[in-house]
Chain A
Amino acid sequence: EIVLTQSPATLSLSPGEGATLSCRASQSISFYLAWYQQKPGQAPRLLIHDASNRATGIPARFSGSGSGTDFTLTISSLEPEDFAVYYCQQRYNWPITFGQGTRLEIK
């Protein structure tokens, strides 16, 4: 099973600042990594697939990068609605696994 480790666990920032979230895989997963955003009481929403491709309707301030074992989600300038929990997910092989999440909170 591929283990995904996200860091930091919690990130405290102010609106307008940039955010960098990390996801590290326990083995190489090529570019087969996705990012999701989840707000309280809501289902997750797909942001990025295959490491760097924005999903339909996702604002350009969200970008993804990386390959192999190290991946990054960058939010260029935080909007109030961006404060949420973010999860990474690998689709390299079965079983599908998620990272434990990074909570992005308002400072």
Chain B
Amino acid sequence: EVQLVTSGGGFVQPGGSLRLSCAASGFTFSGYALSWVRQPPGKGLEWVSGISGVGGDTYYADSVRGRFTVSRDNSKNTLYLQLTSLRVEDTAVYYCAKGSAIFGVVVFDYWGQGTLVTVSS
């Protein structure tokens, strides 16, 4: 059974930093691209960042490029998102999502439960 367990969310002031983690199991971790997708309270889905299966290719939404960094440790079956220079508008539930292929623009066939990041003064 595929499982994606997300952690690391919390309350942070504007300008602060957080690191999110997503621990995966139930599939060959290095064989699939992964992404982070966020959802502000009461709003729709926004793709944030993606990484290929072997980690050589990374992609970012314009809204987070230069502030967020995606990475993965295939030896630990874990995906990360380092969030820096946080803004109030980054407040959202952050989901990790498993892609349908090892690289490229994918669909998401499994999702984690999400972790809430709240940015406020």
Contact = CB atoms under 8 A, between A and B. Distances in A.
B108 A44 contact: yes
Contacts, number: 60
Contact of A100 (B35, B44, B47): B44
A87 B44 contact: yes
Q: Report the contact-size class of chain B (Cβ under 8 Å from the partner).
A: 20 to 34
Given A49-B100, A96-B50, A98-B44, A44 B111 contact: yes
Contacts of B46: 98
A45 B107 CA distance: 11
B105 interface: yes
Dominant secondary structure at the A interface: loop
Contacts of B50: 96
B108 A95 contact: no
Nearest to B62: A95
Interface string A8-39: 00000000000000000000000010101010
B80 interface: no
A46 interface: yes
A103 B62 CA distance: 27
Given A36-B108, A99-B44, 5 more contacts: A34-B108, A46-B107, A89-B45, A91-B105, A93-B105
Interface of A: 1, 32, 34, 36, 38, 43-46, 49-50, 55-56, 87, 89, 91-101
Interface of B: 35, 37, 44-47, 50, 59-62, 95, 100, 104-109, 111-114
Top 9 nearest A-B pairs by Cβ distance? A43-B111, A96-B47, A34-B107, A91-B105, A98-B45, A49-B107, A101-B44, A100-B44, A46-B109
